[in-house]
Structure 1
Amino acid sequence: MTFGAGARPFAPARARFEIGLAPLDLADWLEIGPDLAEVLQEKDRLLASRHGDVFAALPGSESAQAETLALVRAWLGERACATHRVTPDAVTAAGRTVHTDGHDGLAPLDAAGRLVPEDLCLLEAGEGGYRLTAASLCAPAHWRLHEKLGHPMMGIHAPVPGWSDRLGPRVDRIFANLKVEAPVQRLNWGLAASPVTFTPEARRDDDRRMAHLTAGDAIDALWLRVERQTLRRLARTGAILFTIRTVMTPLAEVLAGQEDVRALLEALETLGADEQRYKAFGRYRAALVAALQARLASYSAG
């Protein structure tokens, strides 16, 4: 599975909402990338200005938070020596130091989220299934953390097409059977009108930007959003840690060749009405489809 940077996860076979899990080698658990300093700087800005919007934790989640922080520290110490300096009480990365011993009064998951580009979400078994009990979430795609905290998976993903009757039961089984020694990963994708990753509000800003989109400018105006998601069972607490690495790439850069153009066009044509509504493709689908068709025609003519 390709990591988020450079991924092309829009093959027609993936156009329909599917879980699409693949095994994860823990050596590749986190994706540091050349954008590390930029992503951590944006996290610092959000945590300073909108802390309540990007970090939240329920009482009782402290043990799972601490286990997560220990795992992140251990992985960075072993796999990210070029970018992170791990000491007994702190981690230094991108020119700033985060204390991981509670010295700064940070919750363990808050500290862990400041060390890596990934968003970190903890899910713990409870009434109604696995519930979101803590999260460091700086790149939400049109949802608000405080509205989902404490809710089970069924409530969190209710808007997803096919969740209640098809995907939800499968995810419940996956969570119940997830083994410590067998973490998994998947890719999710969408399109956006800007490279901004912190988008908790509704899509009204995208709607405004796309109101006059045409086939002539659709490819240059849009961005591909790829989320590389991982799931791993925590050995001590039994919680499930869900990580999300979000990468935004100009669509014009993604469509490097004829096969990329054809794959995206086929994906857009394969999506059902529910999937199109959920991804909000209706706002620009016609313009983008026309642009992709014109690009394919130019390849044929050339």
Structure 2
Amino acid sequence: YAKLRAGAKGYDLTIPSQDYTSIMIKQGMVQKIDHSQFPNSKYINPEALEKAKGYDPDMTWSVPYCLAASGISVNKTKVKDYEKSFDIFSRTDLAGHMTMMDDMRVTMGSALKHLGYSLNTTDDKELREAADLIINKWRPNLIKFDAEGYGKSFASGDFWVCDGYAEIVFAEVPEDKHDEVIDFFVPECGSAAYLDSMVNLKDAKHYDLAMKFIDFSHRPEIYAEFCDALKFPAYINKEAAKYTKKKPMYPVETLEKVELKMDVGEALSKYDALWQEIRFSAE
């Protein structure tokens, strides 16, 4: 985003997450989608568009490509009995073997969802309550906040419970051990998610070719190859499920519970201040 905003040229299409998609639309950085060149739009799941209703519910400017959930990965060989809830991070018997994302919006989002709030809230009381939950109940039991290395540490057996994106863990555990070792779930309260969408940039020199690529990507048999390669469920393009050959990391129904992280505008400073407090408590 920063590169494009600074005036970088030579790009026709990019795939930003929902927060940047909404910003790019507001800032006039993208062109409208030509639906006459996108017959495969009929395969886009209406539920995915409902999640994007805050910024582009009709695919006027963007085309959803991948919806992915954050949640909890438990090493089943290390932890036998557990509740499928964010309350697991309050368990002192698992202290020293758990980690949460070093990501302000994801970790605070987990606390907010657990408390019954939107992960995009700007309410001071709700944000304070979420921060206190992390500081007083969860943080004392964590090894650390980790955004990148938790997959490897989970695979090695050092981390038993990790809050974060499933693909980070599944990529590090040998595929023939996935079912034996990993239990990934989204608590009933829901969790944070990201929705990557394809957009055509305002200065695209090959707009028609970019539209052909978007349409090609959403052929069900082609989209199925993407799902199989990364083990994502065929949520965005449900017709593709007929062509997938691999078991996804989690059932497609899991994605019905997630909430997108959205741009919270000036309220981001509230999150920043509380996150510094949370991180300071970790020292």
TM-score norm. by structure 2 comes to 0.24
TM-score norm. by structure 1 comes to 0.23
Point out which structure has higher relative CO (alpha carbons under 8 A, 6+ apart).
Answer: 2
